[in-house]
């Protein structure tokens, strides 16, 4: 029985050890006294129930006084503890994440932390969306389209447009015709003067900033080697463009910047990525005039003195405009490349950007979003530092952590460039206003503003992708990431074989059709052309014209092996892995459910209102005695029987006992009844709003029975972890009782057998006395004694 008592106590405390004296039983060596009495906790007048929902949908009651509580620390110890941990608790409160807090054994805490992270991140996402979309406008497209139509589609008298330029003569025809007409607007459509002086307003709305600039890059003569058989007929040789072979000697009239070479640093130029190659920012340049007449004279002089010759490899027109209506700059560069093969290849580059940022109210709202964005970046920097300090190198094993770092780094670069751009534009505009005859070089700023916009677009893309980090707990959301993660090795291995075949066909197409088909003219174009063939976008007639025999063979074999076989192998790998992942996830419950958080809040509110309503009902019952006066003693005894605490009863009574005589007269009773009725009606309305059918759902829960709330008034609710610990202890206690019961039954069986053997022995002894002689009786008794010894030993052992 001692073992039984110890064993029972051990399961009540949860601290168990094995005792060899009890033959494998579990006892608690550190807890020998009886458990402390359960303190009474009332939930009638000041109910504080905690309604905890487990992940399996069940709900549990927690009684704070049911189990021994830890000793409360003194005020001095508590103040010292607060001083030591004040900073840490503040950091955990502000920057607590699933990586900084221990949530491995607490799914509810993990759920709440994830939800809080998601809500904070959604605010950040809204801010970055406002920030990004606030810097652009649909007017940007129309501004770019207007400039494109004007400078690209305007034709000269002989029908030359910019995109139809094919020779140097066409270049000069376009420059002296459509270009001049497009750059300088001095009259209305009825030939009435605009009265803007020497300032040009393109389309009457877009001011031409400064003066346009022409620039060319030349190649040295004899930069290539002529074959000996043609040296007598060919006097000069100009190679394809190479920065090392640029002509740096003056030529032509020599006097002026158009005939003198300038380095990229001297003219503060920038390199350009053309259709044929990348060109430096150096060369020979000429700034045009502020009026049409002045510019026409300059162009005529350049053409008459052969400013363009055999050594010219590229010519540029650079100018900028500003539209005050939409606060947009348009930086335009017209490029004509002159390859070593002869002819001309036109191209253009138009960048529409917003360089002046803060003018309207909306702009200042975006400024507020930018400041808010900076605070968010500081917040996330501290968060990532804390996570990195905790997890060290294992921090980089998660792709989401790497994505966090990428987003933060791009954001920091964006912030620095925004400050740099604002300062640089102010200086440039100030200089331009002081000297309006200078070339307005916005090429550098427009380039980096475009890269800034591209960087923000990429950063916003990553920011949206990061949302999957917080919603991937759901098995539906997890299917994509799990499928790609599991089949990554198979895809990478098969991709190696796929691209061997793919690049083999790309080289074949380049060598077969590169001389005649534009889409196969370079190896890089071959690669993209083959991707387009996979998507169904191809020009089979061009391939067939280039090679009537090998063209169809190339096309048919490529489509069969790459499209029908290899590409579908990728799909087969993904589909097979997806089926496995879906089957596995279908047998698992979701680890986290955001619905549980809202359901628990719903249940807390519901139970609080329900308990308050029951409290009012109990007081109303106490007032239904019908007597004109109710003494405090009777009132107290009635409510005590219903499970109410003394201090709660005193509060309720003294609230309406206005004269303090410990007796409720008729008026005081009426006031109490009226107030209780109003409160009960209000609570009933709130309960109806929460859901009339929720009480039925609550009654279906095995662990929560509404009708037992009064009997369980001393209980509140436990969290899942504590409930599981209690369940484990009860199961152990039940198992121990079952073991004891089995052994007790075994002992009883042996004792029954012992009793039967004793009775049989006594019966035999009596019959021996009656039938045998004295000597036989002695022998029989002696044998009976011998047979009885083992039974006694066995009984002692038991």
Q: Residues 94-126, buried b or exposed e (16+ Cβ, 10 A)? A: ebbbbbbeebeeebbbbbbbbeebbebbeebbe
User: Lowest-pLDDT range, 42-51, 247-256, 443-452, 691-700?
Assistant: 42-51
Q: ∠154-159-160 over CA atoms, to 5°?
A: 70
CA–CA separation, 130 and 372 (whole Å) = 11
| CA 256 to the chain's CA centroid | 59
Look up the CATH number of the domain holding residue 530. Answer: 1.10.287.70
For residue 316, tell me if it sits in a domain: yes
pLDDT in tens, 425-454: 888 777 777 777 889 888 888 888 888 888
For the stretch 290-311, pLDDT in tens is 899 999 999 999 999 999 999 9
| Per-residue pLDDT, 81 | 47
Chain mean position to CA 452 = 22
Structural domain count, the chain: 5
Asked if pLDDT for residue 265 goes beyond 70, the answer is yes
Same domain, yes or no: 188 and 307: yes
What pTM does this model have? 0.62
Residue of higher predicted confidence among 87 and 114: 114
Residues 610 and 530 in one domain: no
Confidence band (pLDDT; 50, 70, 90) for 748? confident
433 with 289, same domain: the answer is no
Residues 501, 380 share a domain: no
Q: Is 404 annotated as a binding residue?
A: no
* Residues 374 and 319 grouped into a single domain: no
* Domain CATH code at residue 130: 1.20.120
Distance between first and last Cα of the chain = 14
| 572 and 685, same domain (yes or no) | no
Angle, in degrees to the nearest 10, between helices 107-134 and 594-622: 120
Q: What angle do CA 155, 158, 164 make, to 5 degrees?
A: 55
Q: How confident is the model at residue 224 (pLDDT cuts 50, 70, 90)?
A: confident
Please check whether residues 172 and 302 belong to one and the same domain.
Answer: yes
Structure tokens at 148: 């494109």
- Same structural domain for residues 156 and 253? yes
Pick the last residue of a domain from 690, 705, 720.
705
pLDDT for res 256:
87
Q: At what angle do helices 475-513 and 567-586 cross, to 10 degrees?
A: 180
Residue in the block written with tokens 């280039």: 546
The pLDDT value recorded for residue 437 is 83
Known binding residue 659? Answer is: yes
Is 736 domain-assigned?
no
Domain extent, residue 146, equals 139-353
Report whether 252 contacts 307 (CB < 8 A).
yes
Same domain, 324 and 445: no
Question: Does residue 668 have a known ligand-binding role?
Answer: yes
Please indicate, yes or no, whether residues 132 and 145 belong to a single structural domain of this protein. no
Which of 589, 614, 634 is where one domain is finished? 589
Last residue of a domain, one of 353, 379, 411: 353
CATH code of the domain covering residue 652: 1.10.238.10
Give CA separation, 336 vs 239, 267, 286, 451, 693, in Å. 17, 20, 16, 24, 77
pLDDT tens across 689-746, in order?
Answer: 655 444 444 444 444 434 444 443 444 445 555 666 676 667 667 666 676 777 777 7
100 occurs within a structural domain: no
Distances (CA, A) of 73 to 69, 79, 145, 765: 12, 10, 74, 75
Q: pLDDT higher for 760 or 160?
A: 160
Within-domain flag for 11: no
Residue 53 lies in a domain: no
* DSSP result, 253-281: T-SSTTSS-B-HHHHT---EE-SS-EE-S
The verdict on residue 231 lying in a domain is yes
Whether residue 639 is contained in a domain is answered as yes
| Residue scoring higher pLDDT (648 or 338) | 338
Nearest-angstrom CA–CA distance, 223 and 244: 10
Q: Answer whether residue 454 is part of any domain.
A: yes
Residues 123 and 152 in one domain: no
Judge if 661 and 635 occupy the same domain. yes
């Amino acid at each position: 029985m001692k073992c039984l008592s110890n064993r029972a106590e051990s399961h009540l405390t949860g601290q168990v050890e094995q005792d060899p004296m009890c033959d494998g039983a579990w006892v608690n060596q550190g807890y020998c006294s009886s458990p402390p009495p359960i303190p009474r906790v009332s939930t009638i007048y000041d109910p504080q129930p905690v309604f905890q929902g487990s992940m399996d949908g069940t709900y549990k009651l927690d009684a704070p006084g049911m189990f021994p509580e830890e000793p409360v620390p003194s005020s001095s110890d508590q103040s010292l503890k607060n001083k030591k941990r004040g900073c840490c608790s503040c950091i955990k409160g502000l920057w607590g994440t699933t990586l900084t807090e221990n949530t491995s054994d607490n799914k509810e805490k993990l759920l709440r932390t994830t939800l809080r992270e998601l809500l904070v991140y959604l605010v950040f996402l809204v801010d970055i969306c406002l920030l990004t979309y606030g810097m652009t406008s649909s007017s940007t497209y129309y501004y770019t389209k207007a400039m494109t139509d004007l400078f690209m589609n305007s034709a000269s008298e002989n029908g030359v447009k910019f995109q139809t330029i094919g020779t140097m003569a066409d270049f000069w025809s376009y420059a002296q015709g459509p270009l001049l007409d497009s750059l300088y607007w001095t009259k209305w459509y009825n030939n009435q003067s605009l009265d803007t002086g020497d300032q040009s307003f393109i389309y009457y709305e877009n001011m031409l900033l400064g003066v346009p600039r022409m620039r060319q890059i030349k190649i040295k003569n004899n930069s290539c080697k002529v074959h000996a058989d043609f040296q007598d007929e060919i006097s000069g040789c100009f190679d394809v463009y190479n920065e090392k072979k640029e002509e740096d000697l003056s030529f032509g009239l020599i006097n002026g910047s158009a005939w003198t070479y300038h380095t990229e640093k001297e003219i503060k130029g920038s390199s350009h990525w053309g259709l044929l190659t990348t060109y430096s920012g150096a060369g020979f340049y000429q700034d045009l005039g502020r009026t049409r007449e002045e510019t026409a004279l300059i162009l005529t002089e350049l053409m008459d003195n052969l400013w363009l010759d055999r050594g010219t490899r590229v010519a540029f027109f650079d100018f900028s405009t500003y539209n005050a209506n939409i606060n947009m700059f348009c930086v335009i560069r017209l490029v004509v490349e002159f390859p070593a093969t002869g002819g001309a290849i036109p191209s253009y580059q138009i960048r529409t950007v917003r360089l002046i940022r803060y003018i309207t109210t909306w702009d200042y709202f975006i400024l507020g979003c930018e400041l808010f964005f900076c605070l968010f970046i500081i917040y996330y920097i501290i968060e990532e530092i804390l996570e990195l300090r905790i997890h060290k190198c294992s921090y980089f094993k998660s792709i989401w952590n790497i994505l966090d770092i990428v987003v933060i780094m791009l954001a920091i670069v964006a912030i620095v460039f925004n400050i740099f751009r604002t300062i640089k534009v102010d200086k440039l505009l100030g200089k331009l206003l002081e000297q309006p005859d200078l070339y307005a070089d916005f090429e550098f700023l427009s380039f980096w503003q475009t890269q800034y916009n591209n960087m923000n677009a990429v950063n916003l893309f990553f920011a949206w992708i990061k949302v999957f980090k917080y919603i991937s707990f759901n098995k539906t959301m997890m299917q994509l990431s799990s499928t790609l993660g599991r089949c990554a090795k198979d895809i990478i291995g098969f991709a190696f074989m796929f691209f061997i075949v793919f690049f083999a066909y790309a080289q074949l197409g380049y060598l077969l059709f590169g001389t005649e088909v534009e889409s196969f003219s370079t190896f890089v174009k071959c690669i993209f052309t083959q991707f387009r063939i996979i998507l169904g976008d191809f020009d089979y007639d061009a391939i067939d014209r280039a090679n009537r025999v090998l063209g169809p063979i190339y096309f048919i074999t490529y489509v069969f092996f790459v499209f029908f076989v290899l590409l579908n192998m990728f799909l087969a790998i993904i589909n097979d892995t997806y089926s496995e992942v879906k089957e596995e996830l279908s047998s698992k419950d979701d680890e986290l459910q955001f619905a549980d958080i809202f359901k628990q809040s719903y249940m807390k509110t519901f139970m609080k209102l329900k308990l308050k309503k029951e409290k009012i009902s109990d007081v109303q019952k106490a007032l239904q005695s019908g007597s004109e006066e109710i003494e405090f003693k009777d009132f107290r005894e009635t409510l005590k029987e219903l499970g109410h605490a003394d201090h709660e009863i005193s509060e309720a009574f003294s609230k309406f006992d206005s004269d303090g005589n410990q007796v409720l007269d008729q008026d005081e009773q009426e006031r109490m009844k009226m107030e209780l009725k109003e409160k009960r009606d209000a609570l009933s309305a709130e309960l109806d709003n929460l859901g009339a059918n929720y009480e039925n759902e609550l009654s279906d829960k095995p662990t929560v029975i509404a009708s037992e709330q009064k009997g369980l008034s001393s209980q509140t609710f436990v969290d899942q972890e504590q409930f599981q610990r209690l369940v484990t202890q009860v199961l152990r206690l039940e198992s121990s009782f079952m073991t004891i019961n089995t052994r007790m039954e075994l002992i009883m069986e042996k004792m029954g057998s012992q009793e039967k053997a004793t009775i049989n022995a006594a019966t035999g002894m009596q019959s021996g006395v009656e039938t045998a002689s004295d000597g036989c009786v002695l022998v029989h008794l002696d044998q009976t004694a011998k047979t009885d010894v083992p039974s006694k030993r066995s009984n002692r052992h038991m």
